[in-house]
Amino acid sequence: METRSTKRKKIAHRNQTTAKGANKKKAIDRISDLPDAILHRILFLLPIKCIAQMSVLSKRWRFLWTTFPDLDFTTISPFTISPPTTKNRYKFSTVNRHSASSRKPDFITQVFSIREKNSDIRVLCFRARLSFSRLNNLIRSAIRHNVKELDVEVATEVVTDDYFNFPRCVIGSQSLKVLKLKSGFRLPPSSIMRDGFQSLQTLSLSLVILYNQPFLSDLFSESSFPLLKNLHLDMCFGLKYLRVGCKALEDFSLQKCFQLQGLDISCAKLENLKVASCFDAYSEKSWVRISAPKLQNLVWHYNAVTDMSMFEDHYHHQSSSNSFSLFCGDASVGFFILNEDVSIGKLQSVNNFLSGLSHARSLTLESQTIEVLSNNKFFIQPFYSLKSLELHTGFNKSNVQGLACLFRSSPTLHTLILKIINDFQIERKGLVGHDKHGGRAILGISNTKSKALFTTLESGENPWVSGL
């Protein structure tokens, strides 16, 4: 028969055993047991240095760090990229970016040195000032790890370096899907780049030096970029002629190419097109041709008026004097024209361009476009599909002719928005009117001068104005 003391000892031992089992259950690290893909997704939300610091927790977390696929170094200590000399105007101006400075410990190189050899990189993104050799080594290392997205913004570290040579190791990469480069890059000859980017889907190039090859007529073709869907070109210095003929292209943006004289776009699947601050305003032979039967959104802002504008499809080849209308989506147009440069050819080009948008559903016109229409006699093809018209104009009676021309050419208009542009700041209020057909007109400003403007317009018996 057990004594009381013996029973107490058994109960105490049993309780201790139960408590130890409970503590073991509480000590289970369930987070570390998650699949690598889920943990990588969680770590992606943290700055990269925090992820590196977590690698000391255990072997498991060290392995997660050495195989982490998304290397975004833009969160490393802020560093201002500024040119070491002001003589080279095409180098970086002062840009506030998160960047890795070569004068600090080379954290990026350290990361690559401890990385698992067979681990792929999904994203590599960094901002830095460095030499071309170091940049080339970093990109080569990324290519060896089958990088899919490469986003690089760099500035030269040596005063004598005016630009970088384009890293040729990316041309033949089969894994690279997204390439974004921003710096003073100089492209290699088209013969080297041709037939190279067979897997690329997105390409963004900024600050590109093209003085040695101002005519890019055969680079952006179906053979060079068979899978390219998104193309962005910005500040291409020296570019005079550009032809884009990628059959899979859906989104194209071209900005700040001030020396451009000829633009030829022929893309069967193109849906979104943006061209801003382009073309040489002093050129006498500038032209633009657009063949995009599926175009839905067009932004044409602050571009110098070309001597010839032409919309066409693959079955109708029109002359510069009679453009073919294909556009059937939303358009926003703003021309830049010099006062002394209002030639008959450029005026006809404006007329052709606007006539090419005759199937647009929504149209926005900037103030200088309306001034061009007002100061010259225009006959625009009617916008039979136009439902919404937004006009940016000033309180000038000289603009009445252009406004009347647009109103006459918009027989099915439902919504009219007028945004009054002035040199001084005034309070803006919305005035809404309706015509007898249920259409709506919105005046984006309240001012006594507007009465004089609309009185003048009413004299032309325009139904939209009388609805106000």
The whole-number pLDDT of residue 149 equals 96
Q: What is the mean pLDDT of residues 253-270?
A: 95
How far, CA to CA in Å, does 283 sit from each of 262, 280, 335?
Answer: 10, 5, 15
The whole-number pLDDT of residue 165 equals 84
Q: Which of 132, 123, 186, 180 lies closest to 155 in space, CA to CA?
A: 132
**Least confident segment among 15-19, 230-234, 272-276:** 15-19
The whole-number pLDDT of residue 94 equals 37
Q: What is the mean pLDDT of residues 178-186?
A: 90
| Distance of alpha carbon 3 from the chain centroid | 85
**Least confident segment among 15-19, 218-222, 294-298:** 15-19
For the purposes of burial, counting CB atoms within 10 Å of the CB of 303, is it exposed (0-12), middle (13-18) or buried (19 or more)?
buried
How far, CA to CA in Å, does 48 sit from each of 44, 79, 120, 134, 449?
Answer: 8, 16, 17, 21, 58
For β-strands 330-336 and 149-156, DSSP reports them as unpaired
DSSP string, 335-392: EE--GGG--HHHHHHHHHHHHTTTT-SEEEE-HHHHHHHHHS---PPP-TT--EEEEE
Q: Which of 461, 441, 429 lies closest to 388 in space, CA to CA?
A: 441
The whole-number pLDDT of residue 144 equals 92
- Mark residue 109 as left, alpha or beta (left: phi above 0; alpha: psi -120 to 50; beta: remaining): alpha
User: What percent of the chain stands above pLDDT 90?
Assistant: 33
The whole-number pLDDT of residue 162 equals 61
* pLDDT per position as a tens digit, 70-125: 999 988 754 433 333 434 444 444 344 444 444 444 788 888 888 888 889 999 99
For the purposes of burial, counting CB atoms within 10 Å of the CB of 106, is it exposed (0-12), middle (13-18) or buried (19 or more)?
middle
| Band of pLDDT at residue 300, cut at 50, 70 and 90 | very high
3-state secondary structure of 450: helix
* pLDDT per position as a tens digit, 191-220: 788 778 899 999 999 998 888 788 888 889
Residue 425 DSSP code = -
Q: Nearest-5° angle of CA 315, CA 297, CA 328?
A: 50
The whole-number pLDDT of residue 253 equals 98
* pLDDT per position as a tens digit, 370-383: 888 887 777 788 99
Q: Which of 380, 316, 318 lies closest to 347 in space, CA to CA?
A: 380
Q: Which of 286, 279, 273 lies closest to 257 in space, CA to CA?
A: 279
Amino acid letter, 200: L
Cβ neighbours, 10 Å, residue 355: 21
The whole-number pLDDT of residue 339 equals 66
The whole-number pLDDT of residue 32 equals 78
Residue scoring higher pLDDT (272 or 440): 272
| Partners of 123 in the β-ladder | 70, 149
Residue 168 DSSP code = G
Q: What is the mean pLDDT of residues 343-354?
A: 85
How far, CA to CA in Å, does 227 sit from each of 120, 145, 168, 192, 217?
Answer: 22, 22, 19, 18, 19
* Tokens 């259409």, located at residue: 439
